[in-house]
Chain A
Amino acid sequence: MTKQYSSVSLAVKDLSKTFVLHEQGGTKLPVLNAFDMQVLGGECVALVGPSGAGKSTLLKCIYANYLSDSGSIRINLDDTTHDIRSAPPREIVRLRKSTIGYVSQFLRVIPRVSSLDVVGEPLRSIGVDERLASDKARELLTRLNIPERLWPLPPATFSGGEQQRVNIARGFAIDYPVLLLDEPTAALDRANGEVVIELINEAKDRGAAIIGIFHDEEVRDAVATSVAEVAPIQRAA
């Protein structure tokens, strides 16, 4: 889990994304239009803009969760360039394992799996030894103030805030070179918010390229090295 890379950067160029709602008679919803941004290792760029401007959509396009219409998304990791938009699904799956991390405020619950395993799973999936993975999971859960008695339980039964912290722990289990954060601190209390800020700053310090959406200005000021504006597009009906 020690850093496996020496330099990383992420470049979004000319990125456009329009949703076509076939269910609604083919309504077109343009969200991104020729969007550009770049993040270097050690930077944390905060996306700003009004609600609905497409900040989350941008993160999802970078994570390849959403399909973008044109432009490019490139990750330069050491000497290799990964072109997200043209990468085949199996390469995206691989990139998500150890290169791009994504933390949202919502945990997609996996039934029956203990919190400890939920957090350790990303490590195990890249072949990290069971014991090491478990150690790291304990460390993160402890830092995020999840009581030890909850560790063996599946997070499905937890409160919203606890679920969110489990999710954050999972997102930080691996030292991803690229981190996408979609309001990781929303609905967290101050103490836990502080922990997340620490985690983000640690990631920055080890040279990760981070893009995040932080509604809480205090958090944004504490972690962001710069700000990129995502402006809403005039909708063509």
Chain B
Amino acid sequence: MTLEEERLLLRVTNLTKYYDLIIGCRNISFDLYRGEVLGIVGESGSGKSTLLNCISARMEPSAGMVEYDTRAEGLKDLFQLSEAERRMLMRTDWGFVHQNPCDGLRMGVSAGANIGERLMAVGARVYGDIRESASAWLTRVEFDTDRMDHLPRTFSGGMQQRVQIARNLVTEPRLVFMDEPTGGLDVSVQARLLDLLRKLVDDLGLSAIIVTHDLTVARMLSHRLIVMRGGEVVESGLTDQVLDDPQHPYSQLLVSSILQA
């Protein structure tokens, strides 16, 4: 094992989020190490999206702590950082892949500009370099670069998702959050996208936290799983262990509910 792999990247401690009196998620704790991919599964309303929003600093938790290994200063409490630092983190060291590409892309500007934006946001000021980078990333996500000057709204859902992924990866983030990254896509498109994601995560040594209700997605992408229900973690462990030998009644129900294709 290398030192990098042993490096703690994100630590969540007793995270709780209430919406008024309703519980979003309660008492969640886990660690994420470099290169680890964590899946969060559970049905709609189980609190997985709330959890994702809190740990990605898009929403402030009611209680608990989220610490991240910042490049400059090591482990820092996200909500103690200034907003400027937090936003900087979000557009450089983190990525966020939304289920709906509309939420993660600027639909009114070209694919190339969508990718270039993150570079320009961190000070890239040479057009030629930005374009080259955008083109290289589009190739990497298997997107036809002939269409890099077209608007995302002229693309299919799968293509939009590829652009969104490239946009997130162009700054070489260490941690990528994904919210149902293949939701809403055709099964065949979904399979290819999954395969791409799996390859990218492997090749880049990315750490990722993936929220999904699709256990196939979880099995293919994540090393480790958290099963949520009613805002709480009911089971966690190695992905194939949780799926092949689920312990909690709810996990067993979840696993037994999948149709075997």
Contacts and interface: CB of A to CB of B under 8 A. Distances in A.
Let me know if chains A and B touch directly in the complex, using CB atoms closer than 8 Å: yes
A23 B244 contact: no
B147 interface: no
Interface in B63-80: none
A125 B36 CA distance: 14
A22 B244 CA distance: 14
Contact of A125 (B191, B202, B224): B202
Contacts of A93: 36, 223-224, 238
Contacts of B256: 23
Nearest to A97: B1
Contacts of A66: 241, 244-245
Given A23-B256, A110-B198, 4 more contacts: A21-B252, A22-B249, A60-B244, A90-B224
Interface in A66-123: 66-67, 89-94, 110-113
Interface in B203-261: 220, 223-224, 237-238, 240-241, 244-245, 247-249, 252-253, 256
B58 interface: no
B167 to A, nearest CB: 23
Contacts of A22: 248-249, 252-253
Contacts, number: 56
Interface of A: 19-23, 60, 64-67, 89-94, 110-113, 125
A191 B244 CA distance: 33
A111 B191 contact: yes
Given A22-B252, A112-B191, A94 B1 contact: yes
A217 to B, nearest CB: 29
A60 B245 contact: yes
B33 A90 contact: yes
23 contacts: A20-B247, A21-B252, A22-B248, A22-B252, A23-B249, A23-B256, A60-B244, A64-B238, A65-B240, A65-B244, A65-B245, A66-B244, A67-B247, A89-B223, A89-B237, A90-B5, A93-B36, A93-B238, A94-B5, A110-B220, A111-B191, A112-B192, A113-B195
Give the most central of B220, B238, B247: most A CB within 10 Å: B238
Interface in B17-73: 33, 36
A64 B224 CA distance: 12
A-B pairs with lowest CB-CB distance, top 5: A22-B249, A66-B245, A111-B191, A89-B238, A89-B224
A90 B241 contact: no
A20 B235 CA distance: 15
A60 B240 CA distance: 10
Nearest to A22: B249
A111 B219 CA distance: 13
Contacts of B198: 110
B6 to A, nearest CB: 9
A39 B217 CA distance: 36
A122 B1 CA distance: 16
A65 to B, nearest CB: 5
Nearest to A66: B245
Interface in B163-201: 191-192, 194-195, 198
B252 A23 contact: yes
Contacts of B192: 111-112
A60 B79 CA distance: 42
A67 B1 CA distance: 24
Given A112-B192, A113-B195, A65 B223 contact: no
Contacts of A92: 238
Given A90-B33, A111-B191, A67 B237 contact: yes
Given A21-B252, A94-B5, A110 B195 contact: yes
Contacts of A94: 1, 5
Contacts of A60: 244-245
A113 B195 CA distance: 8
